[in-house]
Structures are given as structure tokens and as C-alpha cells.
Amino acid sequence: MSDYFLVSLSNRENLELCVKYNLAGFTNSTNGLWTFFDIEVGDYISFLYGARVRNLYRVAKKVAYKSAEKLPPWPPITFRSKRTYYFPFRLFLKLERV
């Protein structure tokens, strides 16, 4: 049985990258890792941005990269704490419905 997930995005640029590449990326944080492990191939996801749900995708493939510091399409994010996050956990998606 497949599960359904809403992936919340922090800004329009990230939404546009996810939609353009049919890709969801999660940071090298504990939360990013848990989310990556929770979502399985065959599950469904939609993107949540600006209080609107966008598109329906089926997860086609999961990949965790060792060196994601310069891996497109998302640039690294550095917070005031000086902690930098990358997006090594990737879900490759198949668009099911707009």
C-alpha cells in the first residue's frame, strides 16, 4: 500500500526547481534523513507552498549522495549558526497529475 506525503517548501525558487526537475531534495539534517527514510518508492507526494498543494507525483527512485555540496539544482544553505546544509537525499519523481 502506498502512502501520501506533503512536502513543504520554504520559497518559490525551491518549488520551481522541484517542479522543473521532477525532484525532491532533503537536507543533510536529522529531519531530512528521517523524511528520506519515511518515504518509499511507489509512495505519492505533493508540494505545499503558499498554502496551496501543487501536483501529484509518484516516487520513482531514491538516491543518497555522499558529496552533495555542489550538486545541483539547490545551492547550499548557511544559517546564522554558521551551519551549512546540503541536499544529499533525493527523490526522483514521476508526475501523475497537475
Each residue's pLDDT tens digit, 16-49: 999 999 999 999 999 999 999 999 999 999 999 9
Produce one character per residue of 43-74: b if its CB has 16 or more CB atoms within 10 Å, e if not. Answer: bbbbbebeeeebbbbebeebeeeeebeeeeeb
What torsion, rounded to 10 degrees, do the Cα atoms 46, 49, 52, 54 define?
A: -30
pLDDT, residue 1, reads: 87
Pairing type for strands 23-26 and 84-85 reads unpaired
pLDDT at position 22: 98
pLDDT digit string, tens, across residues 51-60: 999 999 999 9
Mean pLDDT, the chain, integer:
95
Segment 76-90 mean pLDDT = 93
For residue 12, pLDDT beyond 90: yes
pLDDT given for residue 48 in this prediction: 97
Please report the pLDDT score of residue 23 as a whole number. 98
Cell 525551491 maps to which residue?
Answer: 14
